Amino acid sequence: MAELLWLVMDHLRRSDLAQRGQSAIGGRAREGIERVRLFIEENPARDTSVEQLSRMAGMNRTKLRSLFKRLNGMTIFEYRQALVMKLAEEMLRQQDLAISEIGYRLGYREPSSFTIAYKRFHGHAPREARRPRQ
């Protein structure tokens, strides 16, 4: 389900970009946004401030937020959250770790915060991801 959601989000992002015509965004700005996107993908559990990401992109916070959403179809937070929840789903299905441990590894300080975020994103509790599908 998470993989399907990810593919749909990516398709919508690409469709939106094609409709808008990205030509108004310069090459340096695109490169900066791409650096930020790759950093988030490589470090989804790392809590990095928008200020740090804006320095990485070489632009101010407002421009980063605006261009990131324009190029990726979602905010920086939504993008990071989708990655973290995709990892959470994979870890719950493939690893024999406690749910609280998975939450800690994904950057949540409290197990209840992880459970709430997971349920909000996936529509079911983390423990249900471990149940065999019938």
Residues 97 and 64 in one domain: no
Interacting residues of 14 by C-beta distance below 8 A, sequence separation 6+: none
For residue 134, the model assigns a pLDDT of 46
For residue 18, the model assigns a pLDDT of 58
pTM across the whole model: 0.74
Q: By residue range, what is the domain housing residue 47? A: 2-75
Residues 22 and 71 in one domain: yes
Domain count, the chain: 2
Residues 71 and 86 in one domain: no
> For each successive 10 residues of the chain (134 residues), what is the average pLDDT?
71 65 73 95 90 95 94 93 94 92 94 95 92 56
Task: Give the separation between CA 74 and CA 17, rounded to whole angstroms.
Answer: 12
Task: Find out whether 131 and 10 touch, Cβ atoms under 8 Å.
Answer: no
Residues 64 and 86 in one domain: no
In a domain, 134, yes or no: no
